[in-house]
Chain A
Amino acid sequence: MRVYDTTFIINPQTDDSLIDQSVRSVADLITGNGGRIINEDRMGTRRLAYQIEDLTQGYYTTFIFEGPSSILPILDRHFKLGESFMRHLTIVYDGDLSAFTPKETEVIAPIERKSTPAPGAAAMTPTEPTPPASDTMAEAAPPIADTEVEAEVASPVADPVESTPAEEQAPEKPPPSAPAEEAPPAQKEPPGYDEEDEL
């Protein structure tokens, strides 16, 4: 499948909704006939180099798409029959497509974590295995305690596995209350501002 570039001019005196509808119709035509739109560029209203049908401005739109060659006569017919299309041009696109493809996230070295034990694990080991206070309590409590223990044991183990991938860059977040309290006072007055200066 080849990559094509189609540009068309729409009468700017029509309503914005009609302009959008015309652009959408072209996009739907491309995707509906086996094409894949790589880039859509709405250049907006531009002054024409010469008058076309007594108009001095036109709404330019460009689609760069990939598709079979059978799309081209369908597209051409759509432009010719449409009343709002003033001019159109479809060419084979030879340019660089890397500007339109989404860039992969950069791989950055993982943050070295300190070897401090997880808070959950530290609190877990001495206290969580609840010693049975009485026989009746021991009979009722252990099943719940065991599941809680298992869940809490699982979570600190899971956290390092989830956070070690190199792509995740966010450091451990401080408690949510701390930044909210610290930020506003710093932004109240710019440095060097004195009320006395105004007076």
Chain B
Amino acid sequence: MYLRAVELRDWRSYRHARFNFPKPENGKNVVLVMAPNEHGKTSFFEAVTLGLFGREGLPLIPRARASVGSGDATERLNVSYSQFLANALHRRAIEAGRQSCSVTLEMEDDDGDVLEISRKWHFKADGTHKLYDDDLQIFEGVGRVPVRAPATTEDKDAWYREFIAQRFIPSSLAEFFLFDGEQVQRYAGRDMADQVRRGIEGLLGLPVLKSLRESLTRYAQHARSSAASPSDQTVKAVEADIANLELALAQNRQKREAAAALLPQLQAESEQLSQQLGGRGEGTIAMVAELHKDEVRYRAEAERAIEGLKDLLAGDIAIALAGNDLRQATVDRLMSEAARERWEAGRNEGNANLDRYQADLSQRLAEVRPELEDSQSSGVIEAATAAWEALWYPPPADCAQDYLHSALMGTARLQAIERLEAIRRRSASELVEKVERFHSAVSTAEAKKRERLEIEQTAPEAEKLSARLKEVSEEVGKLINQRDEADRAITALEGQMAAKRQELGRHMDRIGRGAPALRRAQAADQYAKVLGMLLHDAVPAEVSAVAAEMTRAWKSMAHLTERVERIEITEDCEVRMLNAQGEDLHQIEKSAGASQVFTQALIVAITNVSGRAFPFVVDTPLARLSRDQRLGVLRTFTDRPGQVILLSTDEEVVGEKLEAIRDRVCAAYSLSVEPDNGVAVTTVQPMTV
């Protein structure tokens, strides 16, 4: 199969261009398209790629992938299809009234049948790509019979994709036929085994299976998380909690029942013991001590009563026995003697002033005028003296005539009177009272003693009962606590149990609701696993063929290859460079150029093993290669029966490199750019080489 013509309309810098390529034959299979950078070589490359595959070809376009990456078609796209195409429409097209661009590829297969594939992209007036308006037309044969999906086909895109893959090339293999030199550089930077594996995967179309495996894995994760159902561990944990709660409930109920069973008997015993002890219970010894103290106190009181009685008898009893009449007569006498003492005191105090009174009166009488006679003055003084003495005489009626008790004068007399009065006030009841007090105290002391002796006799038994009562009381207390604690625990546990059962119910509901999603996730995981095994097992089947082709390609491209007899690839895609003795010469020279040569040899090997006779379209093939390497690569690339289209800068395939392949060149074109009011327009001219 070869590319017979490429026609571009309003594609990037191409307003309109048609490339016609001759059929490769007679050893002439190389088409050269030469131009400096920015003249449209890469746009041509992209046109061929997207023209063939449409959106599926975007991963094959280096400019559409992440800016730094592995260089292969499995990298993430950094633009969408429409974003990439936003710059595809020629800049003058819209203002010229044209809102579409197209690429037409004419292929001729080995039987001479022509297949034409034409894609047209439509844009809005502002240059935005209209995604769903893309046109794909395929024509077959000289008569250009349209190729259409059968009317019953549900998925027409899939039908056309399949058609293109069968009649042209699968997109997964396309990166080995359509590539640029810089892409090769990036690819070459990777580990050799990795390159070989990816190359073989591409050969077999496995990238789709890898991508599918990743999609299924992500899908399964999403399905599981969206099911939001609890894990088995979560459910088991809740069930375990419920089991533990049930056990705890049973244990607490048992404790409560055990306490409830024992309490009545113990409480009855406690009641009985209390009655037996009569409230004495504890403190019997203290009671005995208390009774003893009381006894002592009452005996002391009895003593005091006796002492008082004795004092009474020893003190005033004689006077009391004298009788009331004598005591009263004595008091009266003492009172009259007290009156006399007062009369005498007054008289004596008056008599002490009589002389002074007489003298003063005498003097006053001497001053009376007419002067009195001595007899008159004397008579006056005698009369005054008599009047004076009449003040005191006769003494008061209650005065005694003399003193019988002259020893009791003044205060002593008064005290004697008070004592006699006090004795008079005392009655027989005082005596009786003291006697009665004595008897009462003694009686009470005796009663305390008897009570004490009685208790002391029963104390050992009471102590036993008291100790037992204490035990029983403590036991009752413990059982009541046990019962109450168990009750509280049961209440709390029942609450927790209800909550856990609700939680389990919610989990089971969610499991039920999430079941479909989980089933899908499980199925996705199973298919992802099968794909993994397929990916692992598919590669080894191709390694021998690839290794053989790589040996041929590499030996023709690289220099200093004499030592290497062959390249061997293990089932794990490890590359071994073996000499004639089968010894592994280890890795090849690590220069950038040598790595690229290895990569390009791999590309050639893959394309040869694929058996596809599809054209090579290579953009800038010789970047970063040494002179010898360039020659080797050029020769190897072009040394194939199929068509090779080289998009070369004006410095690459020139001079000796051109000479090396000149006899294989069947056509050559140059691209030039002419400005059209600031817009670059590429034109194509045939050239002679």
A and B associate in one complex: no
Q: Give residues in A with beta carbon < 8 Å to B.
A: none
Q: Give residues in B with beta carbon < 8 Å to A.
A: none
